[in-house]
């Protein structure tokens, strides 16, 4: 009975979206510039983790998985994040190099959906970013075999202590199995919440001639 009541309460949750609208005339022809505008507004609004994005991947057979990662760079070539290449997402992106991203800025009643092909960034770029990370984060990249089963947290902590001692007083090298991926978009959709669920959805689709087509989607 309590479970049924909980489900009923969830079903009754409602929120009206009334902050803004999104019209074609207000869009930049380049979706990366439009994304930059929205990201700047999310940062200016002091949202928590404005660069956090859901990354969806799939195995070669199509079994999906998703998690939150942080955007570290974007330009016309793609959206870049960094991870362990031997993690679940790293392995899936290697065998099936396509992905989807979602940014959800609920305080602004906005989301951005991105889909495209994936490639690894140059090792030089991965190294340059790696050495901007705090030393503890660099050590953790060595200590953790991301996504592998471990018997206890104490083993992870001992690994970190071992590498901290090994690299004490030295520059911590970039691990061979760690680096960046870039998602090169073929589609980018900008979603703005509107009243009565009549949301604005405007999608950019990449054309073979290098330009972007913009279409409005039914909410």
Q: For residue 4, is it within any domain?
A: no
In a domain, 198, yes or no: yes
Position 4 scores a pLDDT of 61
**113 among known catalytic residues:** no
- Give residue 2's pLDDT band: very low, low, confident or very high (50, 70, 90): low
112 with 193, same domain: the answer is yes
* Residue 150 falls inside a structural domain: yes
Over range 61-80, report the average pLDDT: 97
Q: Look at residue 6 in the predicted model and tell me its pLDDT.
A: 62
In Å, how far are 26, 41, 100, 205 from 37, measured between CA atoms?
Answer: 11, 6, 21, 19
Q: What is the pLDDT at residue 218?
A: 97
> Does residue 1 lie in a domain region?
no
> 148: domain range?
132-173
Whether 6 maps to a domain, the answer reads no
Q: In this structure, is residue 10 part of a structural domain?
A: no
Q: Are residues 80 and 113 in the same domain?
A: yes
192 in the same domain as 142: no
Task: Record the pTM.
Answer: 0.91
Same domain, 136 and 124: no
Residue 190 lies in a domain: yes
- The number of distinct structural domains making up the chain is 2
CATH number of the domain to which 121 belongs? 2.30.110.10
Same domain, 104 and 168: no
**DSSP per residue, the chain:** -HHHHHHHHHHT------S----GGGS-SSHHHHHHHHHHHHHHTT-SSTTEEEEEEE-TT--EEEEEEE--EEETTEEEEEEETTSHHHHHHHHS-EEEEEEEEGGGTEEEEEEEEEEEPPHHHHHHHHTTS-HHHHHHHHH--TTS--S-HHHHHHHHHHHHHHTTTSPPPPPTTEEEEEEEEEEEEEEE--GGG--EEEEEEE-TTS-EEEEEE--
- 31 close to 188: Cβ distance less than 8 angstroms: yes
Residues 83 and 189 in one domain: yes
Residues 165 and 187 in one domain: no
Asked if 161 and 69 sit in the same domain, the reply is no
116 and 59, same domain (yes or no) = yes
Which residue would you say has higher pLDDT here, 147 or 34? 34
Q: Are 139 and 126 in contact (CB under 8 A)?
A: no
Q: Choose, from 162, 197, 207, 216, the residue flagged as catalytic.
A: 197
- The pLDDT of residue 1 is 54
User: Could you identify the residue written with the tokens 């070539």?
Assistant: 77
Lowest mean pLDDT among 17-26, 87-96, 203-212: 17-26
Q: Are residues 63 and 149 in the same domain?
A: no
For residue 2, being part of any structural domain is answered with no
Instruction: Assess whether 118 and 145 both reside in one domain.
Output: no
Judge if 81 and 168 occupy the same domain. no
Q: pLDDT tens digits for 200-214?
A: 999 999 999 999 999
Is residue 3 over pLDDT 80?
A: no
């Amino acid at each position: 009975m309590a479970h049924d009541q909980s489900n009923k309460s969830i079903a009754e949750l409602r929120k009206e979206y009334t902050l803004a609208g999104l019209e074609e005339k207000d869009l930049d022809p380049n979706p990366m510039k439009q994304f930059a505008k929205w990201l700047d507004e999310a940062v200016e609004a002091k949202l928590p983790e404005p660069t956090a994005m859901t990354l969806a991947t799939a195995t070669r057979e199509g079994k999906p998985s998703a998690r939150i990662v942080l955007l570290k760079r974007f330009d016309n070539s793609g959206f870049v994040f960094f991870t362990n290449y031997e993690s679940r997402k790293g392995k899936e992106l290697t065998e099936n190099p396509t992905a989807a991203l979602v940014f959800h800025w609920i305080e602004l009643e906005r989301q951005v959906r991105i889909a495209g092909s994936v490639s690894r960034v140059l090792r030089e770029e991965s190294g340059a970013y790696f050495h901007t990370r705090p030393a503890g984060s660099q050590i953790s990249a060595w200590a953790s075999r991301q996504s592998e089963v471990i018997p206890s947290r104490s083993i992870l902590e001992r690994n970190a202590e071992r590498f901290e001692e090994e690299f004490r007083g030295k520059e911590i090298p970039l691990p061979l199995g760690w680096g960046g991926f870039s998602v090169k978009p073929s589609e980018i959709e900008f979603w703005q919440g509107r009243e009565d669920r009549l949301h604005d959805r405007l999608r950019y689709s990449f054309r073979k001639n290098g330009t972007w087509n913009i279409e409005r989607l039914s909410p």
